[in-house]
Amino acid sequence: MSIVEALRKRSPWILHFDTGSCNGCDLEVWALLTPRYDVERFGGLNRANPKHADILLITGPVTKRCEDRLRNLYEQTAEPKLVVACGDCASTGAPFHNCYNVNGGVDKVIPVDVYIPGCAARPEALIDGFVLALSMWDKKVEEAERRKEARK
């Protein structure tokens, strides 16, 4: 394993994308960056470029207007990648599931690995979901390394 791969495994970068929420979950996500919760102690860094991101953190129900943008961000994110649906809106589309401009949850558009419940999702729940995503991330990176070694 190269140095870059070792560092990437220890520090996955996160891309936060809002697909049309009320911003309740967004405020809680940004609270994670404060010294009180300090999610960076787990190695996650918030980045704005999908080409540098390893974990997509999605908030809000997927609106018809954002569906193509979300799919585009997912395709631009390098493998291996994880998708985390933050809050009830992103998980199921509720309470907006009957609206004319809402497609539903994130899993209607792209595959989701971790669901974080709540409206708005509490920072403690977000940290639990992030720790779960990190354990899944380790498994995905190891699996990608095995496939890479098998190709040689």
Q: What is the pLDDT of residue 73?
A: 93
Per-residue pLDDT at 32? 85
pLDDT value at residue 10: 65
Assess if residue 152 is contained within a domain.
no
pLDDT below 70 — which residues of the chain?
A: 1-10
Region at 43 (left for phi over 0; alpha for psi -120 to 50; beta for the rest): left
Two structure tokens written together for 86: 């933050």
pLDDT at 103: 87
Q: What is the pLDDT of residue 57?
A: 92
Tally of domains in the chain = 1
pLDDT value of residue 1: 57
> Residue 132 is part of which domain span?
3-145
Contact yes or no for 13/44 (Cβ under 8 A): yes
**Does 151 reside within a domain?**
no
How are beta strands 55-59 and 13-18 bridged, if at all? Answer: parallel
Q: Is residue 150 part of a domain?
A: no
Q: Which pLDDT score is estimated for 33?
A: 81
